Amino acid sequence: MGRIDLQQYGITVEEVDHNPPVAQLYADSIRADARSVIAGSGALIAYSGAKTGRSPLDKRVVEHDESRDEVWWGPINIPISDDAFHINRERAVDYLNTRSRLYCVDAFAGWDTATRVRVRVISARPYHALFMHTMLIRPTRAELDSFGAPDVVIFNAGQFAANLHTTGMTSKTSVDLNLESREIVILGTEYAGEMKKGVFTYMNYAAPKAGILSMHCSATADRKTGRTSILFGLSGTGKTTLSADPRRLLIGDDEHCWSDSGIYNIEGGCYAKAIFLSPESEPEIFEALRYGAVLENVIYDEQTHGVDFTDASITQNTRGAYPIEHVANATIPCVGDHPADVIFLTCDAFGVLPPVARLTPEEAMYHFISGYTAKVAGTEVGVTEPEATFSPCFGGPFLVWHPDKYAALLADKLRQHGSNVWLVNTGWTGGAYGTGQRMKLSLTRAIINSIHSGMLAGAPTRTDPVFGFEVVTQCPDVPDDVLWPENGWSDKAAYRAAAERLKGLFENNYKRFSS
């Protein structure tokens, strides 16, 4: 939409395109990178180079007097000095100043106009500009004219490596967040997802500070009543599959906030895994990857002009980014009422958690902080039996505050708005992995449908003797025997031993947060 002056950041490049149109970013990407091409569907295919995923061990947060006591320091938030941050910032600016043309994208994070965050992205690669144009909320012409000073600025110099002699650097990649200057500096990685998650990490600091709960979850609404639900779940629990329900309106698939006015999507786009994607398996996502979308690190077939989504020769983490309005059942603006239901998905490979249990606000805090699922034998080298995995608040890598901050906000909102909380096990039944079988998707869908309809709110329950929560014992289209997991085990003593073992794993994990 024109040029913009970035000299306030020390950037002196004259050719800086401000919110350029999609067509220009397509053309510039193809000119800049011989491998970039337009797929037959109309999506732009781009490549991120050596890094094809996030680099969590290279993420740094500036340790500053103003925010030092607010950050949950440790392996997730590794400190960096203010001096080291400014060395990296200067290195990024110096690199950007060597480019003949830059791209500046101004857009919003958060669909709630009262609390939305203004984000500015400065990059040298047009593909990065297109990615953030897709993933952020695109301003109207009038909103862009009155955009003002941004709340967050991203300096993406990912083509240029960090200097290993800079204090605190452990590799040539560094993704640094300065909470005081509200700046993000990217060096040594061209993976576009670092920008998306950089914005989410900032939101995970700023939103709770304002009493707003930021959440790594999907959100949907009933088409007729507007009744909303949010759905948490780690990889492999079925979150994407269960939230892609054409009978409901999609508010968002990944990042949301819960404020005094309701829930809202942080993003203006979706970032879906593309490996093994097909029109049969994920028709909504497959159809959304058209003009205006970005396909990342996929294999292009020159003869058919299509994409081989089964080819993982570059990475298993192939991705597709597309505007949320490409989803037929998306609701625009992406906002909703306070959720009637909050659902925690877990894939329990021990086979002892029930298909559905109702949680109190206190139990919800515990399971929210735990963020449990399980790996199964054979999926990774060295995994020979079910292995518990815990990610606090179902989004550990992106938290800034201690998990208790988010859990307390969740409990407060549950009590204030009377939301129902459900623990839904999409994992094993009738025994552990290797003995039992995976819960049928049709049964899980029946449970989710009954939650959404409100039918389970008054269903009879029975207290679990090991975990203490209330297990739902009757659900339409689900056999009663399935709902009480012990019924499926021929060896009842083995069931109780497995349940006690999993309870112990929960308790040991929770000790990390009990202080």
Query: Does residue 201 contact residue 208 with C-beta atoms inside 8 Å?
Result: no
Residue 113 is assigned to a structural domain of this protein: yes
Q: Which residues of 83-93 are buried (b: 16+ CB within 10 A; e: fewer)?
A: ebbbbbbebbb
Looking at residue 282, its pLDDT comes to 87
346 in the same domain as 205: no
Full-model pTM = 0.94
Residue 72: other Cβ atoms inside 10 A = 17
Residue 89 is assigned to a structural domain of this protein: yes
* Among candidate residues 164, 192, 211, the one where a domain is terminated: 211
Per-residue pLDDT of 410-429, as tens digits, reads 999 999 999 999 999 999 99
Looking at residue 379, its pLDDT comes to 43
Catalytic residues: 54, 197, 216, 235, 239-240, 254, 319
Work out the burial of residue 242: count CB atoms within 10 Å of its CB; fewer than 13 is exposed, 13-18 middle, 19 or more buried. Answer: buried
For tokens 């629990």, name the residue.
Answer: 237
> What backbone phi and psi angles, to 5 degrees, belong to 2?
130, -170
Looking at residue 1, its pLDDT comes to 62
Residue 285 is assigned to a structural domain of this protein: no
Closest among 28, 173, 39 to 102, alpha carbons compared:
28
CATH number for the domain that contains residue 150: 3.40.449.10
Number of domains comprising the chain:
2
CATH number for the domain that contains residue 412: 3.90.228.20
Residue 138's domain comprises: 7-32+51-211
Residue 269 is assigned to a structural domain of this protein: no
Residue 142 is assigned to a structural domain of this protein: yes
Query: Does residue 19 contact residue 145 with C-beta atoms inside 8 Å?
Result: no
User: Which distant-in-sequence residues (6+ apart) come within 8 Å of 274 by Cβ?
Assistant: 289, 295, 296, 298, 307, 309, 318, 319, 320
Residue 264 is assigned to a structural domain of this protein: no
Please list the ranges in the chain whose pLDDT falls under 50: 377-381, 383
Rounded Cα–Cα distance for residues 203 and 210 (Å): 10
Per-residue pLDDT of 493-509, as tens digits, reads 999 999 999 999 999 99
Query: Does residue 362 contact residue 479 with C-beta atoms inside 8 Å?
Result: no
Rounded Cα–Cα distance for residues 198 and 193 (Å): 8
Per-residue pLDDT of 261-299, as tens digits, reads 999 999 999 999 999 999 998 898 999 999 999 999 999
Residue 247 is assigned to a structural domain of this protein: no
Query: Does residue 167 contact residue 83 with C-beta atoms inside 8 Å?
Result: yes
The CA distances from residue 135 to 108, 475, 483, in Å, are 10, 38, 39
Residue 433 is assigned to a structural domain of this protein: yes
Beta strands in 391-496 (DSSP E): 420-425, 428-429, 437-438, 461-463, 470-472
* Among candidate residues 194, 211, 228, the one where a domain is terminated: 211
* Among candidate residues 167, 182, 211, the one where a domain is terminated: 211
Looking at residue 509, its pLDDT comes to 94
Beta bridge partners of 73: 77
Residue 411: other Cβ atoms inside 10 A = 20
Looking at residue 380, its pLDDT comes to 45
> What ranges in 101-192 are assigned the alpha helix state H?
126-135, 141-145
Looking at residue 245, its pLDDT comes to 85
